[in-house]
Amino acid sequence: MAKEGSSDLAKREQRLAYWLLAPTFLILLVIAIYPLFSVFYNSFTNSVFASTAPTEFVGLQNYRGLLSMTIRQVPPRLDESGQPIVDPATGAVQYESAVTVLPREPVRFRPVTQFSLFGTQFVLGATDPNFIRAVWDTIVFAVATVFLELVLGMIVALIVNANFKGRGLMRAIILIPWAIPTAVSSQMWAYMLQPNRTGFFNTVFWYLGLGNGEIPFLSDPAWQLPSMIMIDVWKTTPFMALLLLAGLQLIPADIYEAADVDGAGPVRSFFQLTLPLLKGTIAVALVFRTLDALRVFDLFQIVLGQARYSMASFTYYQLIQNRAMGYSSASSVIIFVVLSVFAVAYMRSLGVKSDDH
């Protein structure tokens, strides 16, 4: 009888919880689900932003335009005798232009990148190479920044978690980069990364003899992504450190005292005690930062503009500059899918479970 009574009570509490959550779900339906449905619907149309032109259903055309790719072999250039032409200065085989081997009908493919595999040259082509590069750059940016911020944030969190004089002031100081608005910090870094000796880094490298003082950090594609990663790591590491510090504060001190009595050193205590006990905190920090990094917009838009896109800045450009609302909606849906894949992967790999399991 007691078991039946507790079961009835649990059911009543569950029904009450559902009733209390009903307004929340209603608000979520209005402010989140409806706009999301609108984006999904527009992604299958040729809708034009701020236009009275009639909208037509185009099916998967927008997605094909964004995601269509092909890989083709690039043949070497041949001389009159049919032998490959070799660059006399470098000894490297010269290849035909990648544009000539990519399909032009029924849609035109443009080169994204070229690579060599087992001595054979290939080109990756896409109908929209800017979007493919934006996806790749955003994923590389997210993985690199989150990894570096996790490592550096852990080091900073362990330092400020120690008991020393001036600890409160140190905790306040490390938050300064994160507190600066992104628009301000981006402009500041853009000035420091100027491609001549008016920039801070070029001046420092020139004095140290590490360059001629004219490194094109923001115009050379080889330097652009590392520069973006450096700026974001500088700004967001304090946020990661703050999240990890909150987790460290919850670990009881007597655990470390017992480990010290057992003869465990700092390194062993860190890997056998601190990391396992911080697993939940690390999971939350990684999810927050990865999803935030994959949605990066302001940093790329302010510093690089249209020279190089993130997924979000590419979507913005398509909507505002090209007024291609349907196309940008399809891009937004792809971003949503990428974010969902990363979130689910984190939850599963880090062992985050619901209360029912």
Question: Residues 59-64: what's their mean pLDDT?
Answer: 94
- The pLDDT > 70 percentage for the chain reads 91
**In this predicted structure, what is the pLDDT of residue 149?**
95
pTM of the model as a whole: 0.85
Short-list 237, 139, 259, 222, CA closest to 185: 237
Question: Residues 86-98: what's their mean pLDDT?
Answer: 83
- Looking at 166-175, 221-230, 261-270, 294-303, which range is the least confident one? 261-270
**In this predicted structure, what is the pLDDT of residue 352?**
53
- The 3-state DSSP composition of the chain as helix, strand, coil percent (nearest 5) reads 65, 10, 30
Regarding the domain delimited by 130-349, which CATH topology (the fold level of the hierarchy) does it fall under? MetI-like fold (1.10.3720)
- Residue 108 and residue 330: Cα distance in Å, rounded? 19
Q: How far apart are the first and last CA of the chain?
A: 27
**In this predicted structure, what is the pLDDT of residue 10?**
67
pLDDT digits (tens, 9 = 90+) for 210-253: 878 888 999 999 999 999 999 999 999 999 999 999 898 888 87
* Confidence class for position 262, pLDDT limits 50, 70, 90: confident
pLDDT beyond 70 at 353: no
**In this predicted structure, what is the pLDDT of residue 317?**
94
- Residue 33 and residue 41: Cα distance in Å, rounded? 12
For CA atoms 292, 294, 297, 301, give the dihedral sign: positive
Contacts of 15 (CB under 8 A, 6+ apart): none
What are the residue ranges spanned by the domains of the chain? 69-127, 130-349
